Amino acid sequence: MFFKRFYDDNLAQASYMIACEKTREAIIVDPNLDVAQYTRAAGAQRVRIAHVTETHVHADFVSGAHALAEATGATLHLSAEGDAQWGYTAGAMKRANPLRDGTEIIVGRVRLRAAHTPGHTPEHLSFIVSDLERGEDPVGALTGDFVFVGDVGRPDLLERTAGATGSMATSAKDLFVSVRKFSRGPDHLQIWPGHGAGSACGKSLGSMPQSTLGYEKLFNWAFAETNESDFVARVLEDQPVPPRYFAVMKRVNRDGILPAPHTEPKQVGLEELEGALRDKAVVIDTRPAEKFAAGHVPGTLNIPLGKSFLNWTGALVPEDRDFYLVIEGESAEAALVTADLAKIGLNRIAGFFRSDVVQAWKSRHGKPETVPQLDAAQLHDIMAGMEVQIVDVRAPDEWSHGHLPGAIHIPLAALPDRVGELDPSLPIVLHCKGGGRSSIATSFLQANGIAGVSNLAGGYESWVAEGFEVEK
């Protein structure tokens, strides 16, 4: 049996190729939109992609299952389990072989048995893999968003992104049952999850690429919790705010819509930038936070390129509006960024600016806007002498472990919906753990016309290091 893991750092997402070395047939599980990576890998291994499947209707990226099956002529397999309202639509299933609990996909001398593991979503499947050349006993499980290293998939997304009111408690109970049932498997069973650390599909995902069921029984909290009500309370507690693009992805992937091909953005100049800002268009400055803070064009939003770029862009940028990019590199880098954004359904890029547009704007309009930075001691002194709004943009679990006295908790992903809660007549200081997320949040407020904002350099960690008071 040939096994290959594909990992997209920017999505914290894993997909897999499993092939029979005798018949040279392969199956791809949970492909993303970059379908060429799978066809290249198949060519390199001299195997034919005969089957394509996925564990569930994904919410955090555009599925490549339909596109890959169409490009290769492979058989597409999709879950027919779960609630018809939230599972795949009839249109998507017309092109697919339906999978139910116990259905087998035979790939030469490799067998994948579908196991219905609801909880994260009602239709979720895991695939129990056996290398029949070695024996009937399974070697591993492709667990998708069911079991991660150190955690399990969140059961609240249908309610929080798709409007399925009241579903999170029921889904959490389903997840408890799925975990208990899955725990009866052999300890040697390898766990191949669909996400790693950094994904918003769980609270505390581990960074290891794989695990074993025996190891998870020892160290994964979900396997240790044997009381249903305690499990439900714990799995729902302090889940991160889902980026708003999740709702769009859920609809696109449920319907099996093949996305329109993205086109490389054209480079534009100062006049286009001035026009975009007059029209209140979103302009994303992708430079590092330090450079943006030192000087940027007023009205632009800073989301630095890096592993979290897609997550925060999907959280802060509307999918139904054109937007622009400011990029330090050449056209080739713009093309790479465009391809990444397409993976989360953001393909309305009207153009990109080279970063020297900031200097051009300065030459025409004068001093650029900056982001004031405060250290912990300066903030402590300010709080002692005047009223100031402290906005903590960390995740709920971080907040619950300790926060600055009197702080307002607005996780970064929730900021577009809750910005109206802030009083623009008072100074605002934003912070996160170390300063990265709060830099984005500060730029978001500035881009939306709110002045008097500052960033706490070093974040909560610097505050604690100074020994200042915290609340819990």
Q: How far apart are CA 390 and CA 383, in angstroms?
A: 9
Distance between CA 160 and CA 153 in Å, rounded?
14
**Could you tell me whether strands 211-212 and 75-79 are parallel, antiparallel, or unpaired per DSSP bridges?**
unpaired
User: Which phi and psi (to 5°) does residue 444 adopt?
Assistant: -65, -45
Instruction: Determine the Cα–Cα distance for residues 152 and 205; give it in Å rounded to an integer.
Output: 8
- Do 216 and 180 meet the contact criterion of CB atoms below 8 Å apart? no
Question: In the annotation, is 20 catalytic?
Answer: no
**What burial letters (b/e) apply to 431-469, b meaning 16+ CB within 10 Å?**
bbbbbbbbbbbbbbbbbeeeeebbbbbbbbebbeeeeee
Catalytic residue among 317, 374, 432, 445: 432
Task: Please answer whether residues 157 and 213 qualify as being in contact, where contact means their C-beta atoms are separated by less than 8 angstroms.
Answer: no
Q: Among all residues, which ones are annotated catalytic? A: 432
